[in-house]
Amino acid sequence: MVEPILKVKNLNVNFGKEEIIKDLSFEVKKGSVLIILGPNGAGKTTLLRSLLGLIPYKGNIVWNSKKISYLPPQELVQRKYLPPMTIEEFFRFKDVENKDILKIFREVGLEISLLKKPFSALSTGQFQRMMIAWALVDNPEVLLFDEATYGIDIGGEETIYSLLHNFWEERNLTILLVTHDLDIVYEHANNVLCLNKEKMCYGEPTNILTPQNLQKIYGTGIKFYKHIHK
């Protein structure tokens, strides 16, 4: 029996009088991948931020780990108007050794020479790989990742998800991934949490991503999503 690494019970988050998350309860098992699905404004980012204690909430959130890493959507990461900082200096913000930086850089498929480049000089795809490397360089047990492929083309998206999948397999990493992208769910998720302010469904993708549930989450206009499970 795998222990839950995260237990959430009766979570409620309000911004003023607006209810963003309502009475949400779920558990995440250690070493599993949970994908959080939902339309815009469903409370996905708010959920991750509350799990990290970044915003006030009511209810219980219990982590069975202290080594948690978080990557927000790339649009919320400032890349301009910063000091003239190299990628290497950015990695030095963490207390890590040079060999660890070089190792993770190779693992995410980036050239070592990029370490000397300015923080703002990377392409969107390179930047996201670099951020993944940064998030994982000090060996966290949990990775919370919001909109992992924002602004990345289709080929790049697949690379990012494959990369995360490899890390998950090799490191027994627990991953909580927020996305709009239904395509990746069957291939990468152990469980799916469908969110639209409250829990609409939770469980293994093959069991719960039915046309009825998708209609319930996204409203009208969602066509049946057919997939081939590998």
Residues at the interface with another protein (CB under 8 A) = 49, 52, 54, 68-72, 76-79, 81-86, 89-90, 92-93, 118-119, 144
Cβ proximity to another protein, 67 vs 227, nearer residue: 67
Shortest Å, Cβ 94 to another protein: 8
Contact 59, 14 (CB under 8 A): no
* Least Cβ distance, residue 70 to another protein (angstroms): 4
How distant is the alpha carbon of residue 146 from its chain centre? 4
Nearer to another protein, 84 or 155 (CB): 84
* Distance of alpha carbon 3 from alpha carbon 219, whole angstroms: 35
Residues 152, 156, 158, 160: what is their CA dihedral angle, to the nearest 10 degrees?
Answer: -80
Nearer to another protein, 142 or 164 (CB): 142
* Residue with smaller CB distance to another protein, 83 or 221: 83
Supply the minimum distance, in Å, between the C-beta of residue 214 and another protein. Answer: 29
CA 218 – CA 180 distance, rounded (Å): 10
Residue 137 CB, shortest distance to another protein, in Å, is: 13
| Cβ distance to another protein smaller for residue 76 or 102 | 76
Q: How far is the CB of 36 from another protein (least distance, A)?
A: 16
The Cα–Cα gap between 120 and 114 comes to 11
Q: Quote the CA–CA distance of 51 and 125 in Å, as a whole number.
A: 27
60 or 120: CB nearest another protein: 120
Which CB sits closer to another protein, 39 or 118?
118
Q: Which residues is 88 bridged to in the sheet?
A: none
3-state secondary structure of 182: helix
70: nearest Cα among 92, 54, 91: 54
The stretches of the chain forming alpha helices (DSSP H) are 44-51, 87-91, 98-107, 124-136, 154-171, 185-188, 205-208, 211-218
Cα separation of 166 and 169, whole Å?
A: 5
Q: How far is the CB of 71 from another protein (least distance, A)?
A: 7
Find the shortest distance in angstroms from Cβ 187 to another protein: 27
